Amino acid sequence: MTAKVLAERYEVQRQLGKQTGRQTLLARDLQTQKLVVIKQLFLGSDFEWQDLKLFEREAETLKVLSHPAIPRYLDYLEIDEPNSKGFALVQTYVKGKTLEEHLKAGRTFSETEVKELAKSLLAILNYLHKQNPPVIHRDIKPSNILLHSRSGNTVGQIYLVDFGSVQNQAAKFGGTITVVGTYGYMAPEQFGGRSVPASDLYGLGATLIYLVTGLHPTEMSQQDLKIKFADRASHLNPNLIDWLEWMTEPSLSKRLSSAKEAGRVLKNPRPIDKTPMSVQQQGSDIKLTKTSEFIEIIIPPQGVGFGLIALFAGWIPANLALLLPFIDNGAVYPVLNIISIIWLVTVVVMFLFALFRKLHFRIDRQQISYTSHLLGFRWNHSKPASRQDIRQLEIEQIRYKVSEITIEVGNQKYGLGGNQGLTESEIEWLSTELIQWLGLKIKRTLTDPKQNISI
């Protein structure tokens, strides 16, 4: 079968990719005998002028760019065939697999490799953003980054490809809003049609988060548009986590503003404030301490209540039989004595718990733990579990006018609330703090005590 030849020069080898109205081919340049990539845009029923503008812009941008990590412009063709009409952009072929392909093949990236990737990509972005006018890629993501020639000491050669979404800051579309990018990697301002150099930093940060967590950014929870990934990257140095959070800050005014600045901070991290901050609600004895690394809630002893006093008071008249042998050498009733002793020991233990036991509830980057502390002794109130297994927070009504914060972790639940004597205002306060720190939403389950119906 004779291979197809475009423009009497490019012999098609195989198809690399295909989308509606587009396809990407691997071809051989019959003049140079080198492999090239041909991107085609067809004038079909799905054709839009916006697509042609972006296609032409990609070609014009590649013409003026000269960087070893960016494909080089070679040719621009008009396709005029009986069954297809359109345009083709010819560029140099870069051998390698995308980061997306590496991840799907099971490759993992160490912290050193992630930093090496970050430095190389920041150098490319710095080159693009220093053009006059600045060139903004607008679609930084794992499938647009190629990796080749991995060695024992380096992560490999890095290339940034697919400039189909590129924009220079002088380009306008007659006042229309152009939203281009990939959901999950697009900075919030891009949804409004605005792109600046810091928009590419957001895409890079989201890409690196994918590398260190193995999860697409849309698969992770968010709080105020912030990607909450730190619990899944606990193996990383806190400084790198802080840097990634800074790169993906939703607010432009708070995000790193340039590739040069991002590279400087990556090399010389900003100090992270690990000083614990204590938070206390007025009128509450509960102590809450939090940093970027952990949140801990200490619930003080509940104190002796009326029920416990009544239980102890009832022991005296009910157990005269235990006292009589010591008074008049009368008969001893062994069974009654054993029951009375057990009763007394139980009441004493309950008094100790009520007066001295503290509950420590703690979540850090690795795990969630719930321990009891009593007179120097410590034991698990609930079995420790991995923080990554936290599924949801819920305020659940367990009895009439008694609620509890329930945290689902895998197959078990942790309860904070009614059984520890917390008030409704304390439950609301603690739930708010946990929601903000974990970046999770909360579910509320209210039960109608008359009909036992969950709302």
Per the domain annotation, does 336 fall within a domain?
A: yes
Both 290 and 258 in one domain: the answer is no
Both 245 and 179 in one domain: the answer is yes
Residue from 139, 162, 231, 242 carrying the catalytic annotation: 139
Q: What is the pLDDT of residues 155-205, one digit of tens each?
A: 889 999 988 887 664 444 444 445 566 888 999 998 887 889 999 999 999
Per the domain annotation, does 378 fall within a domain?
A: yes
Both 180 and 239 in one domain: the answer is yes
Both 399 and 418 in one domain: the answer is yes
Task: Check residue 324 and give its pLDDT.
Answer: 53
Higher pLDDT, 39 or 319: 39
Both 127 and 246 in one domain: the answer is yes
Task: Clarify whether 139 is annotated catalytic.
Answer: yes
Q: What are the residues whose beta carbons fall under 8 Å from the beta carbon of 95, sequence distance 6 or more?
A: 148
Q: What is the mean pLDDT of the chain?
A: 82
H-helix or E-strand spanning residue 208: helix 197-213
Whichever domain contains 370, its CATH number is: 2.30.29
Whichever domain contains 59, its CATH number is: 3.30.200.20
Both 256 and 378 in one domain: the answer is no
Q: Tell me the residue range of the domain where 348 lies.
A: 306-356
Q: What are the residues whose beta carbons fall under 8 Å from the beta carbon of 427, sequence distance 6 or more?
A: 395, 403, 404, 405, 416, 417
Question: Looking at residues 276-282, what average pLDDT do you find?
Answer: 81
Task: Check residue 168 and give its pLDDT.
Answer: 60
Taking Cα atoms as reference points, which of 125, 139, 226, 227 lies closest to residue 182? 139
Question: Looking at residues 211-216, what average pLDDT do you find?
Answer: 92
Both 31 and 130 in one domain: the answer is no
Both 374 and 330 in one domain: the answer is no
Task: Check residue 177 and give its pLDDT.
Answer: 43
Among residues of the chain, what percentage have pLDDT more than 70?
82
Among residues of the chain, what percentage have pLDDT more than 90?
35
Higher pLDDT, 9 or 364: 9
Q: What is the pLDDT of residues 42-100, one digit of tens each?
A: 887 777 788 888 889 889 989 999 999 999 999 999 988 877 888 999 999 998 899 99
Both 385 and 408 in one domain: the answer is yes
Per the domain annotation, does 272 fall within a domain?
A: no
Out of 58, 73, 92, a domain closes at 92
pTM of this structure: 0.64
Both 374 and 403 in one domain: the answer is yes
Higher pLDDT, 173 or 246: 246
CB atoms within 10 A of CB 219: 12
Q: Of 26-35, 193-202, 353-362, which range is least confident?
A: 353-362
Q: What angle do CA 277, 278, 283 make, to 5 degrees?
A: 155
Is pLDDT at 333 greater than 80 in this prediction? no
Task: Check residue 311 and give its pLDDT.
Answer: 58
Both 119 and 69 in one domain: the answer is no
Is pLDDT at 154 greater than 70 in this prediction? yes
Question: How many domains are contained in the chain?
Answer: 4
Contact present, 266 and 243 (Cβ < 8 Å): yes
Q: What is the pLDDT of residues 366-382, one digit of tens each?
A: 789 999 998 888 999 88
Both 380 and 446 in one domain: the answer is yes
Out of 215, 246, 267, a domain closes at 267
Whichever domain contains 113, its CATH number is: 1.10.510.10
Tell me how far CA of residue 69 lies from CA of 60, 128, 146, 278, 431, in angstroms.
18, 11, 9, 49, 48
Per the domain annotation, does 215 fall within a domain?
A: yes
Out of 92, 116, 144, a domain closes at 92
Is pLDDT at 33 greater than 70 in this prediction? yes
Task: Check residue 454 and give its pLDDT.
Answer: 33
Tell me how far CA of residue 109 lies from CA of 43, 208, 266, in angstroms.
41, 10, 17
Q: What is the pLDDT of residues 110-133, one digit of tens each?
A: 999 999 999 999 999 999 999 988
Q: Of 71-80, 317-326, 429-438, which range is least confident?
A: 317-326
